[in-house]
A and B are shown apart, each in its own frame.
Chain A
Amino acid sequence: MWLPALFLVVGLTLGLLTNITIPDQYTNYLSIALLAAFDTLFGGIRAHLEGKFSDKVFITGFFFNVSLAALLAFLGLQLGIDLYLAAVFAFGVRLFQNIAIIRSKIIDEKIILKKIRNFKRK
């Protein structure tokens, strides 16, 4: 579990050190894409906890979600509808659901472990 965290830090420092900025009008797309990335990451963690993690689903989900979110934002801008709100809503709800499931899974595991230990003591 430490490798992904390390890589996250590496990516962060790399981005901060290289001083890359994107033009003002594209920040919307990036923020939406970022939300999609978070959603996919937490989805991956959840799938891993549930024991049905798959490389292909994770990778394709990540890039597909990110590009779809950006596309949705772009489409919304062209049509004059705030379509990115839909993406924010969908990803936000899923993010919360995923985090809730991850939380309950971890708690469950701990409780089960405790119970097993107690059982062994008896």
Chain B
Amino acid sequence: MKIRSKITISLVCAFAGLMIAIQLQSIQEPNERDTRDLWEIRSQLQLEQKQQQQLYQQISESESVLEQYMELSEQEQLDTLKETIEELEKESGLTEVTGSGVVITVTPLYTGMENIQEYPTVTPDLLNRLLNELNIYGATDISIGNERIINVTPIRFVNGKTYVNNHALPTVPMEVKVLSNNPNRLLDYIQVSQSRDDFAIENLELTPVVVDNITLPKYEGTIQMDEVEVNELEETGEN
């Protein structure tokens, strides 16, 4: 065979190979169709942007802390470390907190009901609802009775008693202390809240009072983080 024809055949072969490769890739391309509409994509984009901002903020905060560490001497480094630990403990509810807020007193309600046989008790459902509402209205720290509410506080019903942080709640009357940046606003919210009605159904009354100087007890116990994992699963269109 002549060298020229060999080269032509080779070039044609290369061309055919290129075509095969393109065809293979084009067929394999659409594994998952993107069926999101404009709105979903937009909300997704917003979410990502927000996350990006948060991440940037976190980075800058961490960097400033790091700079502090770098600049300071060993003793001061220790101080900074302790400060950080204190801050984190305060954030997670491991220290006492003092501030302005609302004290809600839960008392039995007797209005025209002569034949009440049972002394009213606070059920976990009621507490859950109340806590959710307080958090919506801008509560920063909450304690029920003598128990500080943290992120992982369990509220359970065991043997006819309500347990918070694995300690039984005292019978009513008891106090729910709520810290807030804007106590008056919180008071207004509580006075018209759904929880008041719900508690009234169970023959309980909520009496909120704004107090300038409340001290919340600290969380007694250890927070177990062994089983905690980051949940990265989030479907689009949820927001």
Q: In B9-25, which residues have CB < 8 Å from any A CB?
A: 9-25
Chain B: which residue is nearest A33 at the CB level?
A: B19
Cross-chain contact A16 with B5 (CB below 8 angstroms)? no
The B interface is mostly helix, strand or loop, or mixed, namely: helix
Cross-chain contact B16 with A15 (CB below 8 angstroms)? no
Known contacts A16-B21, A16-B25, A30-B19; A59/B14 CB under 8 A: no
Cross-chain contact B15 with A4 (CB below 8 angstroms)? no
Cross-chain contact B20 with A20 (CB below 8 angstroms)? no
Cross-chain contact B20 with A15 (CB below 8 angstroms)? yes
Closest CB in chain B relative to A39 CB, distance in Å: 11
| CA A40 to CA B1, docked complex, whole Å | 18
Cross-chain contact A3 with B5 (CB below 8 angstroms)? no
| CA A27 to CA B24, docked complex, whole Å | 10
Question: Which of B4, B14, B19 touches A55 (beta carbons < 8 Å)?
Answer: B4
The contact size tier of chain A is 35 or more
Q: In B190-208, which residues have CB < 8 Å from any A CB?
A: none
Known contacts A8-B16, A53-B5; A24/B30 CB under 8 A: yes
Q: Which residues of B contact A79 (CB under 8 A)?
A: none
Closest CB in chain B relative to A92 CB, distance in Å: 16
Q: Which residues of B contact A3 (CB under 8 A)?
A: 6-7, 9-10
| CA A121 to CA B14, docked complex, whole Å | 43
Interface centre among B12, B14, B26 (most CB of A within 10 A): B12
Chain A residues within 8 Å of B, Cβ to Cβ: 3-16, 19-22, 24, 27, 30-31, 33-34, 37-38, 40-41, 44, 48, 53, 55, 58-59, 62
Chain B residues within 8 Å of A, Cβ to Cβ: 1, 4-27, 29-30
